[in-house]
Chain A
């Protein structure tokens, strides 16, 4: 079946540095990918919608200059957390849309745990 891969699964970075998280659709082309963030003991919050070949659409309250999203190809979207701070420590998860038409078209990556020290 379809697989969405995220890398890295775990990352620790120092405050002030940038870290990049990759989201790949392994066996299908994803024109749209989504980035979510989950704080401990809270629900997933949609951060942005990543569209191949165009700018990402950010949800209200998400800083686009801090969370840079690039969807350069139909199988890869990247989220870069710039000038990371400890409060950016969170679980980031992506999903890829294969298109509408059936209920099983949204596939999630395994998530990436970011710890900023």
Chain B
């Protein structure tokens, strides 16, 4: 079945890079997404990658996709306190239905 897995917590020092990892199971996914959820707020689409790409960079964000291993990662360069949030990995399995991972809570230490 469809499944998306991520680690639950990540703590990084301010100014360092954060790398959030995700694995998924549906090899037919067309797009893979990273969403950010701040406390009490809805989801914000951060970035997405088409399944035939292996990398996408958008300012401080870099997405790496290893389709063979079904592994997706999000790298945030120069992590700031405003980056503290829960980050959800998601795959577009079929008919625009999105399957979410459990979310990784990113905390920033000074």
Residues of A within 8 A of B (CB): 6, 32, 34, 42-46, 49, 93, 95, 97, 99-100, 103-111, 113
Main secondary structure of the interface of A (DSSP, over half): strand
Q: Which of B43, B48, B99, B103 contacts A103 (CB 8 A)?
A: B48
Known contacts A100-B96, A108-B42, A110-B41; A43/B33 CB under 8 A: no
**Which interface residue of B31, B42, B50 has the most chain A CB atoms within 10 A?**
B42
Say how far A113's CB is from chain B's closest CB, in angstroms: 8
Residues of B within 8 A of A (CB): 30-31, 33, 35, 40-45, 48-50, 88, 92, 95-103
Residues from chain A with Cβ under 8 Å of B101 in the complex:
43
A115, B62: Cα distance in complex, Å: 38
Known contacts A43-B103, A110-B42; A95/B98 CB under 8 A: yes
Q: Contact check, B45 vs A44: say whether CB atoms are below 8 A apart.
A: no
Q: Contact check, B42 vs A93: say whether CB atoms are below 8 A apart.
A: yes
A108, B96: Cα distance in complex, Å: 13
Residues from chain A with Cβ under 8 Å of B103 in the complex:
43
Q: Contact check, A42 vs B41: say whether CB atoms are below 8 A apart.
A: no
